[in-house]
């Protein structure tokens, strides 16, 4: 499918081993959906409609193969005699190294039957139906079998294809609601709601641009999209964990911290890190806002995580 969405390969379920893998993939998607775990994989619209048990048509073909869709449209707009195009009622594909001809109208047409001008619409819809449904029946059914072991199909029918995508990937274009994130944030390692570094962190995030906030969210959770229903539905919760670091040249205590605050001694130099599996931001105990901003920006745009821990 398109680069922005995914669906099973058409022939991926034709052998038992690949069918089992697709069933497992369906179970993993179902588990993520059930638990509210966001991921970056958006289902192709045609495939989402299939999971929702909605009928498919020629208009759904672009999300599977835009080239085929454009070709069908060109034939439908052809003003000459369609017989000149030498089209027949078969689709040819390679299966395990052999070219196989698949009939678009089983039992009704033969390879010798040429598509007539008055049959163009029927031929186009039959071709779309072959690519969207018949050609990929085994692969799609294997994925659905796994998904429906976790999710009741009747639950999915409550949503449209776009809504299902949002439940899986979050609000793809939304900004991070800092106040909502603050309300549902957890803490560890000695940090609390009123910790100086934590208060400075919220000030820092509030001053970030929309793109920087989304980059920070992706750094911590592996998804730049905030949950559709708010951060109370993010599991595990967004957590800020304290990383205690010594400040070079500082003796510690109130006097040492004051030296850092007023820029007389260097601040903590360690970069923040993240454990995306648990949505944990490991935040050093920075003393100055400008240092925290610089270190956060370096970390989130370097794409670093465990390797800096």
Catalytic residues: 277
Contact assessment for residue 51 and residue 157, using Cβ atoms and an 8 Å cutoff: no
**Which residues make beta-bridge pairs with 91?**
102
Cα dihedral sign, 216-222-223-227 = negative
CB neighbours of residue 305 within 10 Å:
17
| Cα–Cα distance for residue pair 41/39, rounded to 1 Å | 6
The string of DSSP letters for 116-134 reads PGGGHHHHHHHHHHHHHTG
Contact assessment for residue 52 and residue 152, using Cβ atoms and an 8 Å cutoff: no
Angle of CA points 95, 99, 104, to nearest 5°:
90
**Which residues make beta-bridge pairs with 98?**
95
Contact assessment for residue 286 and residue 295, using Cβ atoms and an 8 Å cutoff: yes
Torsion of CA 113, 115, 119, 123, to 10 degrees: 100
| Cα–Cα distance for residue pair 26/30, rounded to 1 Å | 6
Closest C-alpha among 235, 243, 152 to residue 191: 243
């Amino acid at each position: 499918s398109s680069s922005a969405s995914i669906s099973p390969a058409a022939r991926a379920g034709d052998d038992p081993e690949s069918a089992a893998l697709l069933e497992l993939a369906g179970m993993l998607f179902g588990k993520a959906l059930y638990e509210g775990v966001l991921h970056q994989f958006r289902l192709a619209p045609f495939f989402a409609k299939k999971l929702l048990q909605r009928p498919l048509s020629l208009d759904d073909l672009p999300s599977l193969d835009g080239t085929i869709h454009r070709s069908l449209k060109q034939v439908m707009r052809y003003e000459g005699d369609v017989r000149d195009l030498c089209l027949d009622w078969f689709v040819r594909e390679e299966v395990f190294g052999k070219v196989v001809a698949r009939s678009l109208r089983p039992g009704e047409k033969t390879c010798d039957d040429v598509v007539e001008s008055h049959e163009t619409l029927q031929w186009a819809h039959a071709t779309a139906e072959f690519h969207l449904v018949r050609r990929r029946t085994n692969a799609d059914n294997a994925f659905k079998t796994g998904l429906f072991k976790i999710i009741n199909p009747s639950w999915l029918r409550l949503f449209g294809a776009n809504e299902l995508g949002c439940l899986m990937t979050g609000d793809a274009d939304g900004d991070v609601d800092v106040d909502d994130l603050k309300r549902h944030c957890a803490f560890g390692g000695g940090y609390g709601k009123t910790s100086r570094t934590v208060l400075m962190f919220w000030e820092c995030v509030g001053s970030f641009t929309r793109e920087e906030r989304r980059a920070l969210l992706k750094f911590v959770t592996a998804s730049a999209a905030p949950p559709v229903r708010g951060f109370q539905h993010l599991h595990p919760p967004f957590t800020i964990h304290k990383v205690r670091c010594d400040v070079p040249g500082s003796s510690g205590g109130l006097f040492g911290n004051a030296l850092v605050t007023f820029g007389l001694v260097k601040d903590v130099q360690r970069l923040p890190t993240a454990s995306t599996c648990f949505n944990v931001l490991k935040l050093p105990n920075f003393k100055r806002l400008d240092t925290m901003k610089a270190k956060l920006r370096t970390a989130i745009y370097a794409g670093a995580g465990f390797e800096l821990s």
